[in-house]
Each structure stands twice: as C-alpha cells, then as structure tokens.
Amino acid sequence: MAMSSGYKDLKNRTAEFGSKEDQDGIIRCDACPVLCRIKPGKSGACARYANDDGVLVRCDNLLLTQRVIEQQGPVVPFAERDWDGSPLRPGDTFVTGVGAGTTYPDYKPAPFIVSARHNDVDTVTVVTEGIFSYCGVKLKIDTDRHLGAETSAVYCRGEQVGHVTTAEYGSQMLSLGGVRHLTGASRKEGRITCETLLSLCNRQAVELQVDGASQVIVQAGKAPIVNGVEEQRMRVGCGSATIGIFARQWQGHVDEVVVIDDHITGQLSEHQAGKCLGIPPTGIRLIGHRSTPGRYFKVANPGTGWGGTDISDPLGVLQTINPDVAWPGMRLLLTSTTGEDAIYCVLDESLQPVESEMPSAVARVVDRIGENCEPSLSTVLFMAGAGGSLRAGVTQNPICLTRSVADAQSRVTMGGAPVYIYPGGGITVMVDVLRMPENAFGYVPTPALVAPIEFTMPVSLYRQLEGHMEDVIPVEEVIAQLSDEARIENWSEDNPWPFRPISKHGPRSDDQA
Ligand code: SF4
C-alpha cells in the first residue's frame, strides 16, 4: 500500500496544529472556538485538553479496541472483561474516536487517519471527535403512564431542555436538546441543555419535569422512575391487541373482558376476536368513543392510573349494562394492558358488578399478560449532524464524503457503534448510546457536545474523495506509538465489525437492519 511515511510523533498529535505558547508558558488551545488560554499544569474549560509542561495534551486517552478471537475464549461485551494485556493485533484493532481529539479549525485533517488491510482490501478509517452544535437526544421511555401532553415543555433544573413528542407503541417519547435550546435561548438554558445531554449520553441518571405533569428519572438501559415509582412492565399491546392475543385463553372462564388503555380500550364480546370465537353479547356498553366494534377511544383522560389513563376505579368505564341482554352471575374481568391492575367481578341479581375472588384460570391469563410484557427501559438515542469541521477533516472536498456516505460507500461508526444514517441531504446520524463505549461523550462550552465518529472506506475511495492522503498512518504505527498509554478495551461483539466487506447493497443493508 502506498502510504506517506511522513507522519509525525502521534503522542503530540493534538499539539501539531495552532496551539501557541507565550512567555508565561500559557498555551492557547484551538481545538474548539472557545480558544482557552491554559496555564502550565491546568486544563481548559471543557477539561478535555491540558497544558502538560508546554505541550497541549488530550486529557483522556485514545480508545483502541481489539476483537476477541474465538480461541481466546468466549466473546464478551465492552468492559465485562478487561483487555488481557497481550500485544494488539493490527488486523483485530479498531481505533475509535474516543479521546482522539477534535478537528478544529475546520481545515485541519482529522487527528487520526488510519490505514489497515482487511479481507485483501486496503482501508482507511478517519478518526475524530466531532463537535456537535446540532445535536440532541431522542428518549424512548417504556411506559403507558402519561408523562405529559404532546408538545409539552420538558425541564431540567428549571430550564427547558426539550419537549414531549409523539408517543410510540408502549413508549412515551421525549425530544431533548437541539440547536434552538443549545444556542437560541439564554446562556443558562444552553448550558443546562448541554449538561443534560452529556449526562444522558454518558449513561447517567437525569431528572426531568414535564410541564404541569409528571416527573421522570431516566437513565440509558434502566427502568424509568415516574413520579417516584419505578416502572416495571412495558405493555403487551394496546387494549384491542390484548383482547385479540388472549381471547381464546379467556373463553369459557369469563363472559366479558375489558382491557383499559389510554388509546384503544378493548371489549372481548364486541371485538372481532370474540365474535369469531362465538362469545355472546353481554349488554355492556363502555364510555368513550367507539371506533370499531370492541375498540373504544377516549374512555378516560390520560394519567398514571390503569393503562395510562387517570382511572383508579375501573368500573367507571362501564356506561350501561343492558338488562335485556346481561344476566345475573355474568363473569367480568377488567384489566390493564400490563396485567398489573386487574379485578374480577360477578353481576348480582340487580346486574351490578360485585368484585369477587379471581378464579385461578382467569388469574393465570392475567399472569400471562404480565409474562408477555418486556421490562420497561429508558433508551437514549443520540442524534447529530456532521458539520463542516468534521467533513473537512476527512477530505478537502467535503461534498465527496457526504455523497459517499449517502451512497453507502463509506461506513460511519461512533466509538465503533453502528449508526442510522438519515436519508436525504447532509450526514445526519442516530446512535444508541449503550452500543458505544462508556464515557464516550464530552462537551465544549460553546455549548456543544463532543462525540467520537469514524469513517471507514477503501483507500482507493479515500483517494478519490480527495482525502488527506499525506496524513494517513498505518494502524501498526498507532499501536507501536500509543498502545502503552491508550485505553484498550475488547471490541463489543454486539456491534458489526467496521471492516467487514461492504455488501453490494452497501453498508446500510447490514448496519441499519
Ligand atoms: S473548551 Fe476545551 S477544546 Fe475548547 S479551547 Fe478550551 S480546552 Fe480547548
């Protein structure tokens, strides 16, 4: 492979560009627009760069990851087993952007442009830490409980950091951050928004308050805590789906089932599933708006009660009981979509439901609803747009990189984790922070988030893109110069290996499946 041999001392790589020392030994850091003047022995405003005896250094070590090969034992995720100390194998090493340093001002080549040979193809990985002014977090919170009305403001420590967006199936969604909160409001709002995003992306717990509604504590990969109560179950489905799934199992044990749900409450005898099974009408009519037979909208207001409604007395959903159809002794089950709330009633002589002990056959099906609920989790998805400095750090003609990503010729990873690339213009990515190494994120007080990002492609393509070929360094050289002081972790086998061949359908077909 024809590569430049003119690479410099990698340990001082961040000091090669622009940092200036004056007579007092103060260094000006130009790794971001803040341009801190850093005294000897001190670090800059973001605590990411420091003045080490006149040399500008990145305070966190570069993260190198190494694939665990089969013969060395079972594969384990990041940090569950320490690197065993054996020499790094170039063919199994991936240089991540964690601790790599940023590419600012924009014209600078990325801190590490690493060549390696994989599957008989010469590859290049451009490694950097992006400064993202346009970034935010999509929070998926697995709960039926109503956190707040759509578009409601979301606050952290008294500042608005985002809003409630459209709910998904079994999950409430919050959209936090974004350039407007980071840059368009008060300094305090921008700072707290940045701190909130940083904490969430680095897997820390954050307390959020939805305007006029719930308080929720979220942490990536952990159960959300809504108004002080830890959520346990993500619902099996909406009320209608729950009726459909369990209709056959209820048959013969109850005469009527109502599954209470904030969005679609289901009623067995009216539902198509009940009709197909020959379950007779019960004369029960629910409150709310009947969308289709056995499927009711708006049976109550949203809340933190049964099925994400404000219902605490489930019998309140029964509007009428037709005496010409119902009968004394009729057996009625009311349940939530998680099975956490359920009562069993029998109609008395005056056709009033009387709560009774739930027969074991019915309780078994309620338990099965619970068994089919997944554990409630909070998911933190970081979303950002790759701006000018990032792209210019890869190539002198940034549109070429944008096109190669859009055409799925270049593979984008963040700390080695696969990303979803939004279709259309620009390079807009989304990544699950739990697939990234721990503490992969930093910040600068502009304010903006700093996150690792890597672009991997064949070297022939990199040349075509007008990449910074003179700055390419072999991975062997990175290992030789930096492995003593680098942070080394096992490659997460949950993530696809960035050097696997690009399929004829492009990396999207396997990265984003
Ligand atoms: S905030 Fe950090 S990256 Fe920016 S100039 Fe200061 S030390 Fe450098």
- Find the 428 Cα to ligand 1 centroid distance in Å: 24
| Residue with CA at minimum distance from ligand 1 atom 4 | 32
Give the position of tokens 């199994």.
92
Contact 176, 193 (CB under 8 A): yes
If phi over 0 gives left and psi between -120 and 50 gives alpha, with beta otherwise, what is residue 329?
left
Which one of 19, 20, 27, 36 would you pick to mutate in the ligand 1 pocket, going by the greatest count of ligand atoms within 8 A of its CB?
A: 36
Alpha-carbon separation of residue 242 from 44, 141, 238, 300, 373 (angstroms): 56, 20, 6, 18, 11
- Return the structure tokens found at 431: 């990544």
Ligand 1 contact via 31 beta carbon (within 6 Å) = yes
Report the relative pairing of strands 353-356 and 342-347 from DSSP bridges: antiparallel
- Find the 348 Cα to ligand 1 centroid distance in Å: 74
Q: How far apart are CA 201 and CA 442, in angstroms?
A: 9
For the entire predicted model, the pTM comes to 0.89
Ligand 1 contact via 36 beta carbon (within 6 Å) = yes
* H or E stretch at 476: helix 475-482
Ligand 1 contact via 49 beta carbon (within 6 Å) = yes
pLDDT for the residue 5? 35
- Find the 442 Cα to ligand 1 centroid distance in Å: 11
pLDDT for the residue 2? 35
Q: Which residues contact 405 (CB under 8 A, 6 or more apart)?
A: 412, 421, 427, 455
Atom of ligand 1 nearest to the CA of 44: 7
- Find the 452 Cα to ligand 1 centroid distance in Å: 16
Nearest to 345 by CA among 334, 326, 332: 332
pLDDT for the residue 19? 61
Q: What is the CA radius of gyration of the chain?
A: 28
Q: Which residues contact 86 (CB under 8 A, 6 or more apart)?
A: none
- Return the structure tokens found at 146: 């109503």
* H or E stretch at 337: none
- Find the 60 Cα to ligand 1 centroid distance in Å: 13
pLDDT for the residue 102? 86
Ligand 1 contact via 347 beta carbon (within 6 Å) = no
Alpha-carbon separation of residue 130 from 389, 394, 409, 458, 473 (angstroms): 8, 11, 20, 22, 20
- Find the 39 Cα to ligand 1 centroid distance in Å: 13
Contact 257, 268 (CB under 8 A): yes
Ligand 1 contact via 131 beta carbon (within 6 Å) = no
| Residue with CA at minimum distance from ligand 1 atom 2 | 46
Which one of 34, 51, 446 would you pick to mutate in the ligand 1 pocket, going by the greatest count of ligand atoms within 8 A of its CB?
A: 34
- Find the 10 Cα to ligand 1 centroid distance in Å: 20
Ligand 1 contact via 287 beta carbon (within 6 Å) = no
Ligand 1 contact via 59 beta carbon (within 6 Å) = no
- Find the 177 Cα to ligand 1 centroid distance in Å: 21
Positions in the chain whose pLDDT score sits under 50: 1-8, 14-16, 71-72, 75-81, 507, 509, 513
Atom of ligand 1 nearest to the CA of 49: 7
pLDDT for the residue 108? 85
Please give the span between the terminal C-alpha atoms of the chain, in angstroms, as a whole number. 33
Q: How far apart are CA 488 and CA 485, in angstroms?
A: 9
Counts of helices then strands in the chain (DSSP H, E): 10, 37
Report the relative pairing of strands 225-226 and 112-118 from DSSP bridges: unpaired
- Find the 185 Cα to ligand 1 centroid distance in Å: 22
pLDDT for the residue 9? 59
